[in-house]
Amino acid sequence: MGDKIRVAIAGIGNCASSLVQGIEYYRREKKPVGLSYPKIGPYLISDIEVVAAFDVDRRKIGRDLSDAVFQEPNNTRKFVELRRSGIKVQMAQPLDGISPIAGDKILLDESKAVNPAEVLRDSKTEILVNLIPTGATRASEMYAKSAIQSKAAFVNATPARIGSSTQWQSRFRKAKIPLAGDDIMDQIGSTILHKNVLSLLVDRGLRIGETYQLDIGGGTESQLALDKKRYEIKRNIKTSSVAAAVPYQFPIVAGSSDFVDFMENKRTSYFNIKGEYFGGTEFSLDMRLSLEDGPACAAVVTDVIRMVRLAKDRGQTGPLMTVCAYGFKAPPKRVADQILKEELASMLKGKRQN
Ligand X SMILES: NC(=O)c1ccc[n+]([C@@H]2O[C@H](COP(=O)([O-])OP(=O)(O)OC[C@H]3O[C@@H](n4cnc5c(N)ncnc54)[C@H](O)[C@@H]3O)[C@@H](O)[C@H]2O)c1
- Minimum CB distance to ligand X smaller for 109 or for 206: 109
Smallest CA-to-CA distance from 18 within 297, 222, 217 is with 297
By the rule CB under 6 A, 14 interacts with ligand X: yes
Q: Is 225 in the site for ligand X (CB under 6 A)?
A: no
Query: Strands 266-277, 207-217: parallel, antiparallel or unpaired by DSSP?
Result: antiparallel
| Pairing mode, strands 127-130 and 281-292 | unpaired
Task: Based on the shown chain and the rule CB under 6 A, indicate whether residue 19 belongs to the binding site for ligand X.
Answer: no
Q: Could you say which of 5, 7, 20, 56 contacts ligand X (CB under 6 A)?
A: 56
**Footprint of ligand X on 24-43 (CB under 6 A):** none
- According to CB under 6 A, which residues from 277 to 316 bind ligand X? 293-294, 296-297
Touching ligand X, residues 191-220 (CB under 6 A)? 219-220
Q: Which residue's CB is nearer to ligand X, number 300 or number 311?
A: 300
Number of residues that bind ligand X (CB under 6 A): 38
Write the single-letter amino acid at 258.
Answer: D
Q: Is 157 in the site for ligand X (CB under 6 A)?
A: yes
Question: What is the C-alpha to C-alpha distance for residues 9 and 170, in angstroms, rounded to an integer?
Answer: 23
Residues 137-156 that bind ligand X (CB under 6 A): 139
Instruction: Give the span between the Cα atoms of 268 and 235, in whole angstroms.
Output: 16
* The dihedral sign for the CA sequence 246, 247, 253, 255: positive
Our finding on whether 233 is near ligand X (CB under 6 A) is no
Three-state SS sequence of 122-156 = HCCCCEEEECCCCCCHHHHHHHHHHHHHHCCEEEE
Contact residues: ligand X, CB under 6 A: 10-16, 54-57, 74, 92-95, 97, 106, 131-134, 136, 139, 157-159, 183-184, 186, 189, 219-221, 293-294, 296-297
